[in-house]
């Protein structure tokens, strides 16, 4: 009987010892499992993203179409008007007449091109200047050849040489020069628009977008995108 009591006591002691050993271990696993769950949840939670649209940086040096038009008009009409007034008040002779003719001619030849030079289409502007100067040069040479070196008066009815071919050449040349000037002033806006479109196409475009990366628990930052 005493032996059985000792054996049961020893068995109970072992069970208590085993229970005491298992209990702290089981008790300590719960917090660890919960901690791992929280960390895992934080890593796998989808990070929010801002819906702010990309901010495009404006392309510099774009020119105003309206400004180009007014520059061409003003640079043409004002000198021509001033020169015409000077020529009319001078009596068709003297230095005042010469100065007025020079001012009116410069406005007619160069004035329409000013808007092109401003708007980044200088090549097209110089083309118009060349057409007007070339037409005037050809007309002067042709009239000189017809007149044969004499002092022709195109407005003198008694001068047969002037009234024949020279007058027709002068009239045709004047029409071409005026038509070229008017055409350039009418088309300056479209050429400046094309020059601006070319700048937009060839220049780099920068976009800046705010984002939040899912790494490291959600890191905020900016993403820059350059388009060539």
Q: Given the DSSP bridges, would you call strands 205-213 and 55-56 parallel, antiparallel or unpaired? A: antiparallel
Per-residue pLDDT of 38-72, as tens digits, reads 333 344 444 444 444 545 555 568 999 999 999 99
- Please return the burial class of 114, using the count of CB atoms within 10 Å of its CB with bins 0-12, 13-18 and 19+: buried
Each residue of 64-106: pLDDT tens digit? 999 999 999 999 999 999 999 999 998 777 889 999 999 999 9
Higher pLDDT, 202 or 17: 202
Q: Is the pTM of this model over 0.85?
A: no
Domain residue ranges of the chain, discontinuous segments joined by +: 1-45, 65-202
Give the model's confidence band at 114: pLDDT under 50 very low, under 70 low, under 90 confident, else very high.
very high
Structural contact between residues 212 and 218, judged by C-beta atoms closer than 8 angstroms: yes
Q: What does the alpha-carbon distance between residue 177 and residue 109 come to, in Å, rounded to a whole number?
A: 8
Backbone angles phi, psi at 68, to 5 degrees: -60, -40
Q: Is the pLDDT of residue 133 over 80?
A: yes
- Comparing 175 with 200, the larger pLDDT belongs to 175
């Amino acid at each position: 009987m005493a032996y059985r009591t000792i054996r049961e006591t020893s068995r109970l002691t072992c069970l208590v010892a085993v229970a005491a050993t298992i209990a702290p271990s089981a008790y300590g696993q719960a917090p660890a499992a919960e901690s791992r769950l929280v960390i895992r949840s934080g890593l796998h939670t989808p990070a929010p993203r801002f819906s702010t649209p990309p901010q495009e940086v404006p392309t510099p040096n774009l020119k105003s179409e309206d400004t180009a038009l007014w520059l061409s008009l003003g640079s043409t009409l004002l000198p021509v008007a001033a020169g015409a007034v000077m020529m009319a008040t001078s009596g068709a002779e003297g230095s005042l007449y010469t100065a007025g003719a020079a001012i009116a001619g410069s406005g007619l030849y160069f004035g329409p091109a000013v808007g092109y030079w401003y708007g980044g289409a200088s090549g097209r502007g110089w083309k118009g200047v060349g057409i007007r100067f070339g037409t005037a040069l050809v007309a002067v040479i042709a009239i000189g050849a017809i007149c044969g070196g004499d002092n022709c008066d195109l407005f003198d009815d008694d001068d047969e040489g002037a009234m024949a071919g020279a007058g027709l050449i002068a009239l045709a040349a004047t029409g071409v020069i005026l038509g070229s000037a008017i055409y350039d002033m009418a088309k300056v806006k479209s050429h400046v628009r094309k020059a601006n479109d070319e700048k937009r196409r060839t220049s780099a475009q920068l976009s800046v977008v705010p984002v939040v990366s899912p790494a490291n628990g959600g890191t905020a930052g900016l993403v820059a995108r350059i388009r060539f």
